[in-house]
Structure formats: C-alpha cells, structure tokens
Amino acid sequence: MTPKSHLTELTNIGATLEQRLNEIGVFDRDDLARISPSVAYRRIRDNYPDKTLPRCYYLYSLEGALRDVHWDSLPDAVKRKLSKDAGFKDK
C-alpha cells in the first residue's frame, strides 16, 4: 500500500507536484528534507524527460516548501545554489 501524502499542506505544493513527488518516493516534508529539493527536482526531471519543468515551479517551490515561504521570496543566492546543485550551468 502506498503511504498517504500530505504534501499539498506545504507552501507551493499543488496536486501535480505532489503526485510527481509521490512517484519518486517523497510523501511528506521529512522525505523532501532528507533527499533535498535539488535531488527531488533531478529525479522528477528524469521521470519526465520530454517535459519542461520550470525551476520556479519545481526546484524553487520545493525549497520554499521546506522554508514555508513562497518560492519567489527565496534569496537570489539560494536560487543560484539550488540551480547549481540541480545541474544547471548558468552563467
């Protein structure tokens, strides 16, 4: 039996992102914190290679969920580190 997820109770997490997190074995805040937003983003991206997964709605939202803030409120330095950790090669 698959554990029940309560991720939509977290800031920034809607039904689609919750479903995609569940697909990679993330069912609650502790699971997300354990693997990190960057790893979760990479795993979701790997599951959907033909889809564009915007950083703001996935990567930054996951970090914001852990901090209980809207993704757009994250400091630029945090966004840069997340992007680097997720494998983006920004200039």
Is 51 part of a structural domain of the chain? yes
Is 90 part of a structural domain of the chain? no
Judge whether residue 83 has pLDDT over 70.
Answer: yes
Judge whether residue 33 has pLDDT over 80.
Answer: yes
Is 79 part of a structural domain of the chain? yes
More confident residue, 80 or 91: 80
Question: How many angstroms separate the Cα of 57 from the Cα of each of 1, 2, 18, 37?
Answer: 29, 25, 12, 12
More confident residue, 65 or 5: 65
Is 80 part of a structural domain of the chain? yes
Domain span holding position 16: 7-85
Is 2 part of a structural domain of the chain? no
User: From the CB of residue 22, how many other CB atoms can be counted at a distance below 10 Å?
Assistant: 16
Total number of domains in the chain: 1
Q: Write the CATH number for 67.
A: 1.10.150.20
Is 74 part of a structural domain of the chain? yes
d(CA 15, CA 90): 29
Output the average pLDDT for the chain: 92
Q: Which of 24, 23, 21 is nearest to 13 (CA)?
A: 21
Calculate mean pLDDT across residues 36-63. Answer: 95
Query: According to the model, what pLDDT value does residue 58 have?
Result: 95
Calculate mean pLDDT across residues 48-70. Answer: 95
| pLDDT confidence band for 90 (50 / 70 / 90) | confident
